Amino acid sequence: MKVALDAGHGGGTGACGGGFVEDKLNLEMVIRIGHYLRLSGVTTCLTRNKDELIPISARASIAMREKCDMLISVHFNAGPSEARGSECFVVAGDERSASVAGRIMHQLALLGLSLRGVKADNQGAHSRLGILRGTYRHMPAVLVEPAFLTNSQDAELLHDRLFRDRLAKAIAGGILALQIV
């Protein structure tokens, strides 16, 4: 299996909160996830490996050019201070991606994170999810939002380096669960 790992945003874009800048945290997370996937024999491809802004269409092209079997895009959420927890987005009606997202959510639940669910991106609701629209016809594509930077409880967890490592292992575990089925 070959997995494209997309660190959302880049070049100083994305949410800020809890002492974090999203694009930097996204990159750290995909590097960690990739490490755990490679330890299990999975080949990975990063859509970006430094702090730069790459167009969404180019990210999708990278995943397809590299003949990846799946794309996971990592972001961290922002919102009202009371909003917290993990959620995944998939294109509406894409059952393959929804299955991957469900396995990732199961692993995140084992960390004790509150779950906001797997949400369908219908064409107009989440225009920021172009990475999914550019890839889901070719491979399962999931956008993971593990926690809210703007929630004090989620941010406190994220400040713990060991928790971030466990978070990466959980996301990798959700991906690896697909090989067992």
Q: What is the DSSP string of the chain?
A: -EEEEEE--BTTBS-EETTEEHHHHHHHHHHHHHHHHHHTT-EEEES-SSS----HHHHHHHHHHTT-SEEEEE--B--STT--SEEEEEETT-HHHHHHHHHHHHHHHHTT--EEEEEEE-TTTTGGGHHHHTTTTTS-EEEEE--BTTSHHHHHHHT-HHHHHHHHHHHHHHHHHHHH-
pLDDT value of position 7: 97
What is the C-alpha separation between 61 and 124, in angstroms, rounded?
Answer: 22
Query: Across residues 30-37, what is the average pLDDT?
Result: 98
Give the residue-averaged pLDDT of 170-176.
Answer: 97
Residue where the block lists tokens 């959980």:
170
| Average pLDDT value for residue range 27-41 | 98
pLDDT for position 127 = 53
Query: Cα separation of 12 and 4, whole Å?
Result: 22
Query: What pLDDT sits at residue 13?
Result: 81
pLDDT category, 133, cuts 50, 70, 90?
A: confident
The mean pLDDT value for 113-139 works out to: 81
- pLDDT of 125 > 70? The answer is no
pLDDT in tens, 96-114: 999 999 999 999 999 999 9
> Is it the case that residue 128 has pLDDT exceeding 70?
no
**Distance of alpha carbon 156 from alpha carbon 3, whole angstroms:** 29
Parallel, antiparallel, or unpaired: how do β-strands 20-21 and 43-46 relate? unpaired
Cα-Cα-Cα-Cα torsion 119, 107, 65, 137, nearest 10 degrees, comes to -30
Cβ(155)–Cβ(92) under 8 Å? no
The share of the chain scoring above pLDDT 70, in percent, equals: 94
Q: What mean pLDDT is predicted for residues 142-146? A: 97
- Predicted pLDDT of residue 181: 44
Domain ranges of the chain: 2-150+162-180
Q: Which CATH topology does 2-150+162-180 take?
A: Aminopeptidase (3.40.630)
| pLDDT exceeds cutoff 60 at 174 | yes
101 and 142 Cβ atoms separated by less than 8 Å: yes
